[in-house]
Chain A
Amino acid sequence: MTTATSGRPHLGTALSLGEWSVASDGDAVLSCVGLGSCVAVTMHDPVAKVGAMAHMVLPDSTAARSTPAGAKFVDIAIPLLLQELQAKGALTRRLRICLAGGAQMLQNSSAAMQIGLRNADAAHQQLAERGLTVAGESLGGTRGRTMRLSIGTGRVTVTVPGEQEVEL
């Protein structure tokens, strides 16, 4: 699975399933488009002006039979982003962290199928274990979302089709 890395930030980079990106270009906008049960995390250091985003699909890499590369799994993606941000001069204690996604797209699904809920729980757990708090979140529900992070301003927005954009 491909990953976009900090060396070449792309303007308006849309991250596919399992992709992540770290950017320091003030004009860069990172986005995760059409999040269903997937959870996106954004981390931004307003002083170092560096930010990161990951499009996470599943909660736990230990149950996986596929390559646990990239940001596919929450338990790998969050430590990976923190490490990459630190390498770009970010301080963990300054990070503003937001989460979005984790919808339950199917009604009446079994507990095992509630991947959205499990993704959101895993993200909270990974952050809490590191003493990190979530500044803003838009999680759960039954609708798809799009999340964007503007690196220059640190502004994080979430849109649901047909609804007004929300700033986290």
Chain B
Amino acid sequence: MTDPAMQKWADLVSLGTANAMTGLSQMIGQAIEVREFELEQVPVASISQYVGGAEAQSVGIYLTVTGAADGHLMLIYEPHIAFAFVDLLMMQAPDTTTEMTPMAASALGEMGNVIGAFFLNAIADATGLSLRPSPPTVMTDMAGALLDVVTADILLYSDDTYLADTTFATADRDISGAFFVIPSQGLLEAILSNEIASAA
């Protein structure tokens, strides 16, 4: 990706992330502050280092994207962060959730629905592309195994990918987490070519 294309993708992901946080704020009825946003070009082979290492137990929320382009998005969290989200979503006291129950998975799936829809809506508005998220799949496993779902597809086209790392927190709870957006190559190309064509 060229520097202007990288900047364009960074702008779009930033826009999408801000909108996703707005959606999440509405869902939980609390303001969410985006504290940091960073987009990095990283080797696909080392993505798991950003989520505590390949062997670290993690929770993944995975959505496929269909419409003008096919692709996929993954949110991945350390379990204690995922459980903190569950408590927040279900209006429970902190540390109530300590394991992945069906109810917890359902709450995280709902969060994935909201984040995915708001994220894609913002990008669709900016680019004119119609992009729809699938229902989310919530998985618990080693980070390396979860990430295989997206990395295998990316590696067919490229050795690098783009990782959006957003740190955010609610006002009244000590909760923050990284929000990773990992696009497939097809989605990336469709979004950028459309955006560049519309800007020309």
Where the two chains meet, the residues of A that have a C-beta atom closer than 8 Å to any C-beta of B are: 1-2, 14, 16-19, 33-38, 57-58, 63-67, 72, 103, 105-107, 115-116, 143-146, 161
Q: Are B46 and A58 in contact (CB-based, < 8 A)?
A: no
17 contacts between A and B (CB under 8 A): A16-B48, A17-B151, A34-B48, A36-B144, A36-B145, A38-B144, A66-B155, A66-B157, A72-B155, A105-B139, A105-B145, A105-B146, A105-B149, A115-B148, A144-B144, A161-B141, A161-B142
Q: Which 6 A-B pairs have the closest CB atoms?
A: A34-B144, A144-B145, A36-B148, A36-B145, A34-B54, A34-B142
Return chain B residues, CB-CB under 8 Å to A103.
Answer: 145
Q: Which of A16, A37, A116 contacts B45 (CB 8 A)?
A: A16
- Compute how far the CA of A116 lies from the CA of B44 in the bound complex, rounded to whole angstroms: 18
Return chain B residues, CB-CB under 8 Å to A116.
Answer: 148
- Compute how far the CA of A58 lies from the CA of B13 in the bound complex, rounded to whole angstroms: 28
Interface residue range, chain B: 20 to 34
Q: Are A35 and B55 in contact (CB-based, < 8 A)?
A: no
Q: Are B45 and A19 in contact (CB-based, < 8 A)?
A: yes
Return chain A residues, CB-CB under 8 Å to B144.
Answer: 33-36, 38, 144
Q: Which residue from chain B places its CB closest to the CB of A19 in the assembled complex?
A: B45
Return chain A residues, CB-CB under 8 Å to B44.
Answer: 17
Q: Which of A2, A16, A33, A65 contacts B55 (CB 8 A)?
A: A33
Q: B137 on the interface (CB 8 Å rule)? A: yes
Identify which of A1, A2, A16, A116 gathers the most chain B CB atoms within 10 Å of its CB. A16
- Compute how far the CA of A33 lies from the CA of B52 in the bound complex, rounded to whole angstroms: 12
With A33-B54, A143-B141 already in contact, 5 other A-B pairs whose C-beta atoms are closer than 8 Å = A34-B147, A57-B155, A58-B156, A72-B155, A144-B142
In the complex, how many angstroms separate the beta carbon of B56 from the nearest chain A beta carbon? Answer: 8
Return chain B residues, CB-CB under 8 Å to A64.
Answer: 156-157
Q: B152 on the interface (CB 8 Å rule)? A: yes
In the complex, how many angstroms separate the beta carbon of A23 from the nearest chain B beta carbon? Answer: 19
Q: B119 on the interface (CB 8 Å rule)? A: no
Identify which of A1, A16, A17, A145 gathers the most chain B CB atoms within 10 Å of its CB. A17
Q: Are B155 and A17 in contact (CB-based, < 8 A)?
A: yes
- Compute how far the CA of A67 lies from the CA of B45 in the bound complex, rounded to whole angstroms: 13
Q: Are B137 and A36 in contact (CB-based, < 8 A)?
A: no
In the complex, how many angstroms separate the beta carbon of A68 from the nearest chain B beta carbon? Answer: 10
Return chain A residues, CB-CB under 8 Å to B152.
Answer: 37-38, 57-58, 115
Q: Are B159 and A143 in contact (CB-based, < 8 A)?
A: no
Return chain A residues, CB-CB under 8 Å to B148.
Answer: 35-38, 57, 105, 115-116
Q: Which of B130-186 contact A (CB under 8 A)?
A: 137, 139, 141-149, 151-152, 155-159
Return chain B residues, CB-CB under 8 Å to A19.
Answer: 45
Q: Which residue from chain A places its CB closest to the CB of B139 in the assembled complex?
A: A105
Q: B106 on the interface (CB 8 Å rule)? A: no
Return chain A residues, CB-CB under 8 Å to B141.
Answer: 34, 36, 105, 143-144, 161
Interface string of B47-89 (1 = CB under 8 A from A): 0100001110100001000000000000000000000000000
Q: Which of A2, A34, A66 contacts B156 (CB 8 A)?
A: A66
Q: Which of B43, B45, B53, B145 contacts A143 (CB 8 A)?
A: B145
- Compute how far the CA of A126 lies from the CA of B27 in the bound complex, rounded to whole angstroms: 51
Q: Are B155 and A58 in contact (CB-based, < 8 A)?
A: yes
Q: Which of B57, B62, B142 contacts A33 (CB 8 A)?
A: B142
